[in-house]
Amino acid sequence: MSVLLTGLFLTGLFAGEPQHPFPRHTDYREGAILPSNRTREQLDQAVFEYYQKWKATYLHQVPNVEPAEKFVHWNVSQSPWVDPPNAVTVSEAHGYGMLALAIMAGADDEAQKDFDAMYRFYKAHPSVFNEGLMAWQQLEVQDEDGNVRIVDVEDNDSATDGDMDIAYALIMADNQWGSDGAVNYREEGIKCIRAIFEEAVNKEDWILLMGDWVANKKEEVPQYYTATRPSDFLLGHLRLFAAVDKQNSEGWQKVYDKIIDIIDYNLEEWSHKTGLLPDFLVKNDAGHFVPAEGTLLETENDGDYNWNACRVPWRIGTEYLSGDQPVLKSQLSRINDWIVETTGGVPLNINPGYYIRNGEKEGAPIIRDWEGTDMGFIAPFAVSACMDDKYQEWLNALWEAITAESWSKGLPFEEITYYPNTIRLLSMIVVSGNWWIPR
């Protein structure tokens, strides 16, 4: 291990005494693998160095606010496709940031201070429907005196995945630092978990809704009440929620079991070849959840493997590495076998999206108006590849691409790409063997 990294670990331990300091070196399920073309120390070093770059670019402080509030800035380069152009963050980004800080404690001696600043931002921007949840998007505005403020969008309701990550990160913080300080992390985490259960669970079908707005606007948009988003299938989170939210344990288990049933059905009926799940699933007349047809919420590819579902191999893969689900083994094996074959084992051949439902043959690449690939689609496949040594060569190639510094070998860090860069960071944490489950 490098002198730099060792020194930072010692600094973190001395300053905050985290109970699970990075590197955590979790024992995943039997048969799981890590990249074999790097030593364990090299994997840790790569994660830490990338985290430093990520944090320096995206973690921003709200001006003129005390005590400090911080957020993950997803529009640092003022990208022309962002609407509205003054958008600065979303709850999804906030959850990712809180997870990263809780995990990197020990290597980062500022982690707890920054985590608390992110907690304060979360509390300062509640959903209009439930203060335990976070408003889904924030904007930067100036008042009459030219002072910068961060405000919520007008429809300041919630997005389920962001809240789930925030809740998980708060329980992780309790395990990391304890809850006897300025923030009772465990109490706040359980409040958030219960708010999600109250507002974002369809208790007829036991599916996760896309946000608290779905149930609260059911009369206006009833089609969304029987729809769900596979990128929200955070099965490890649900197991934790069932364990710590005692009053809703049975309900959380029903949600978990329903997701397993949905995955199993789609493997049999829709994803024969690829194992992929789409951006959105909807309930059909027979009561099954199937890929959306046409535009449900975002694009004509809502029923395909697109910008939401690209996270599924990471999220589902993490649960398989941590637990014991035969259905997930079948799903991930199918995903891995197919993606290796379709790319020829070359990560840069991964297409940014594949058809499932949208009138095309399953597994055909979605046609874009630009060429190339995207790290948001590449990195999650590294997590799914960790399941078995059958995929060792593929995993090694993916790690090379994820950590490459030259464009010929991968997609180096660029500040404009918050989404793929952040998915890359969290995937690297898992692939390096440093993801852990709090209690």
Phi and psi at 85, nearest 5°, equal -65, -20
CA dist., res. 342 & res. 66, Å (int): 52
Residues 292, 282: contact at Cβ < 8 Å? Answer: yes
Catalytic residue among 109, 157, 161, 319: 161
Phi and psi at 227, nearest 5°, equal -125, 155
Q: At what angle do helices 312-322 and 418-431 cross, to 10 degrees?
A: 20
Catalytic residue among 92, 109, 163, 188: 92
Tokens of 342: 């379709």
Phi and psi at 138, nearest 5°, equal -125, 150
∠ CA 352-238-163, rounded to 5°: 70
Residues 398, 43: contact at Cβ < 8 Å? Answer: no
**Is 205 assigned a catalytic role?**
no
Place of tokens 């100036």: 142
Q: Which of 93, 95, 103, 98 is nearest to 116 (CA)?
A: 98
CA dist., res. 326 & res. 320, Å (int): 9
Strands 137-142 and 227-228: unpaired
Q: Which of 189, 135, 190 is nearest to 158 (CA)?
A: 135
CA dihedral 398, 424, 429, 123 (to 10 degrees): -170
Residues 402, 409: contact at Cβ < 8 Å? Answer: no
DSSP bridge pairs for 227: 282
CA dist., res. 229 & res. 161, Å (int): 9
**Is 161 assigned a catalytic role?**
yes
**Cβ neighbours of residue 257 under 8 Å, at least 6 residues apart?**
206
Residues in the chain: 439
SS3 202: strand
Strands 70-72 and 59-61: antiparallel
Residues 313, 335: contact at Cβ < 8 Å? Answer: yes
Q: How many CA atoms lie within 13 A of 158 on its CB side?
A: 34
Residues marked active site are found at: 92, 161
